[in-house]
Amino acid sequence: MKVRDAMQRHVSTVHEQDNLGVAQQLMRWSELRELPVADQRERVVGMISEHDLLRALTVFSADALKHTVHEFMHVPIEHVRPDADLADAAAHMSRERLDCLPVSEGDTLVGMLSVSDALNALAAQPRAANLGRAPDAAPPVATIMHPEPMAVPPRATLLATAARMAERGVRHACVVDENRCVIGIVSERDVRRVLGHPKRALVPNYVPAHLHGLRVEQVMSVPTTVNQDASINEALSLLLSGHFGALPVTDARGHLRGIVSYVDLLRHLRHMLAVAS
């Protein structure tokens, strides 16, 4: 299967002379953290991300969104060709922890490949994900989960939690009670919504004083969990049906046992494709 078989053909782009306010609004509408930047001839000349917006806000504060996209876009561009193998593109996305990849032919943008696009397409190949077989024939989630996820109590401060997430390079922290039962989850997106870029938490002086005492329980989401004995197919269906990037893995009593993310599933599906070919 090729990238062209899974990519989105209608792509939101922002022009290099648009202001950052336009880019910010397009990111919200498209639910993407990064957008391709086009010039007057509609050639892709860069990318603009949430991180770039944060950099602008740090430099120019309230006037940042009036500046042009060209001033803060980044190059070179991570991209993929439409005739590239989808499994290879998925492997690159999982290795580099990318949410999406522009698909281009030369300087022409022809599509966008997101993590969800890759998962949906790869999972549609029965041999890759063991779909079409009895649920108990597929491997359990426990075989691909991370067995030592980051866990914090509900009264931990968001600032300290975000700092630990940045130091460990993880995108999710599970919130557990005194019995280690999962009661919530904090994602990198939650951190960005409140603090900006997660690495700001490593320099507390850059964080407004009124946010220093904010607790995890005030921003966490109620998680969708998956049992450690559930099939990988079930975890895949849950991730594709929701707007989240990871699932806490629990035992029968709700105790935290691990976490499985789209990265783990991409890696698994690619491995299964390689075995089947």
Q: Report which residue type is found at 172.
A: H
Q: Which fold has domain 3-115?
A: CBS-domain (3.10.580)
Give the β-pairing of 44-49 and 100-105. unpaired
Q: How far is CA 139 from CA 57, 115, 264, in A?
A: 46, 22, 13
Task: Give me the pLDDT at residue 87, please.
Answer: 79
Domain 3-115 matches domain 129-276 at the CATH topology level: yes
The structure tokens listed for 74 are 């980044």
Task: Give me the pLDDT at residue 135, please.
Answer: 45
Residue 151 has pLDDT above 70, yes or no: yes
CATH superfamily of 129-276: CBS-domain (3.10.580.10)
pLDDT tens readout for residues 77-118: 778 899 998 878 887 877 777 777 888 887 678 888 887 788
**Stretch 201-230: mean pLDDT:** 85
pLDDT tens readout for residues 37-54: 888 877 888 888 877 887
For the chain, domain boundaries: 3-115, 129-276
Task: Give me the pLDDT at residue 133, please.
Answer: 47
Distance CA 17, CA 134 (A): 54
Lowest pLDDT segment from 162-166, 177-181, 189-193: 189-193
